[in-house]
């Protein structure tokens, strides 16, 4: 089976504090997009597992979330899996590539084995793989709380064009969390307003509430994030923000023509630039 692992974007991201277990308490509004990786998943009857991660620098063992998901799902069955990834989602971009791959593996193996687990049951399995995996299993849009595993489904973004651009550097997530923990003054996203705008289909309302607290603690080496944000808005985006812990930046466009022009302009300057749309799974 060939299945697509859809990238995710953070329309809003807030860090509320640090829990006693060492994890951070988050409140995020997330949305999947049509852009993503493709995974070719095949069952093996001899119980062996193999993974082609799509890039030579990515792990091909249980350190890769796709392999971890396969081993977890098939534990005790005597079955194995061969997985080959066509990798498109940038690594270390804040777009949930590893989690999306794991979620795609869970969905594919659920179909291939005929196990028939519900989305909620797949989300429970996904949480054992990683905090973002349950959302990537569910897809569409959601308010994500806790570590990201407490999900409240939301209506997806109104149809629009999305331009995503990643500068040529990654950002260390633990370092950003440390900076957020030490921050004295805290601006916060209007999460309630964001969810209300999604529920009413208010695209301008969503766009003007895009906000990611990690942007407030970027250092001088990471200022290219703001250069891309300004370029997107100058080229007609209704709003722009960094996704996750970065370094990818996205802009929402009400005009396909403006989005295409922005994509063309930024593609000339940045290797990893993508033009896509919001993705909502079909309701069966």
- Which ranges of the chain would DSSP assign to H, the alpha helix? 65-74, 97-113, 119-127, 133-138, 173-181, 191-200, 203-207, 224-234, 256-267
Q: pLDDT tens, 14-33?
A: 999 887 777 889 999 999 99
Q: Which helix (H) or strand (E) holds 117?
A: none
| DSSP code string of 195-233 | HHHHHHT-HHHHHTT-EEGGGGG--GGGTHHHHHHHHHH
Q: What is the pLDDT of residues 177-207, one digit of tens each?
A: 888 887 765 788 999 999 999 999 999 999 9
More confident residue, 24 or 153: 153
pTM: 0.94
3-state SS, residue 57: coil
CA distance 128 to 159: 33
Task: Locate all alpha helices (DSSP H) within 41-86, ordered by sequence.
Answer: 65-74
- What domains sit in the chain, N to C, each tagged with a CATH number? 2-154 (3.30.230.10), 161-276 (3.30.70.890)
Clarify whether 21 is annotated catalytic. Answer: no
Mean model confidence pLDDT for the chain? 95
**Average of pLDDT values for 146-171?**
95
Contact 257, 161 (CB under 8 A): no
Given the residues 68, 87, 132, 229, select the one marked as catalytic. Answer: 132
Determine the pLDDT at residue 184.
65
Backbone angles phi, psi at 147, to 5 degrees: -85, 0
Residue 284 pLDDT grade (very low, low, confident, very high; cuts 50, 70, 90) = very low
Q: Residue 243: helix, strand or coil by DSSP? A: coil
The overall longest dimension of the chain from CA atoms, in Å, is 57
**Catalytic annotation, pick one of 8, 68, 87, 229:** 8
Known active-site residue 8: yes
Q: Are 67 and 49 in contact (CB under 8 A)?
A: yes
Residues present in the chain in total: 284
Instruction: For CA atoms 14, 94, 163, 165, give the dihedral sign.
Output: positive
Residue with tokens 């959601």: 142
Hey, how many other C-beta atoms are within 10 angstroms of the C-beta on 82?
A: 15
165-200 per-residue burial string, b: 16 or more CB within 10 A, e: under 16: bbbeebbeeeebbeebeeeeeeeebebeebbebbee
Structure-block tokens of residue 250: 């996205």
Mean pLDDT of 203-232: 95
């Amino acid at each position: 089976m060939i299945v697509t692992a859809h990238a995710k974007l953070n329309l809003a991201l807030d860090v509320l504090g640090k829990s006693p277990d060492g994890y951070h308490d988050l409140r995020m509004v997330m949305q999947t997009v049509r852009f993503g990786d493709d995974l070719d998943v095949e069952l093996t009857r001899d119980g062996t597992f193999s993974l082609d991660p799509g890039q030579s620098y990515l792990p091909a063992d249980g350190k890769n979330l796709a392999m971890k998901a396969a081993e977890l799902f098939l534990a005790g069955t005597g079955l194995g899996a061969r997985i080959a990834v066509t990798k498109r989602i940038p690594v270390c971009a804040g777009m949930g590539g590893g989690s999306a791959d794991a979620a795609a593996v869970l969905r594919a193996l659920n179909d291939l084995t005929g196990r028939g687990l519900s989305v909620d049951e797949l989300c429970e399995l996904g949480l054992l793989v990683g905090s973002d995996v349950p959302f990537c299993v569910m897809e569409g849009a959601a308010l994500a709380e806790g570590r990201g595993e407490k999900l409240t489904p939301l209506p997806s973004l109104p149809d629009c064009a999305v331009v995503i651009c990643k500068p040529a550097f990654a950002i260390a997530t633990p370092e950003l969390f440390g900076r957020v923990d030490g921050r004295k003054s805290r601006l916060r996203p209007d999460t309630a307003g964001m969810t209300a705008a999604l529920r009413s289909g208010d695209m301008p309302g969503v766009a003007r509430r895009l906000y990611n607290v990690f942007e407030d603690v970027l250092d001088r080496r990471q200022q290219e994030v703001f250069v891309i944000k300004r370029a997107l808005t100058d080229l007609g985006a209704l709003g722009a923000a960094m996704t996750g812990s970065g370094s990818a930046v996205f802009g929402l466009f009400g005009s396909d023509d403006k989005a295409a022009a922005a994509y063309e302009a930024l593609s000339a300057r940045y290797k990893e630039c993508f033009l896509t749309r919001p993705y909502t799974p079909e309701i069966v």
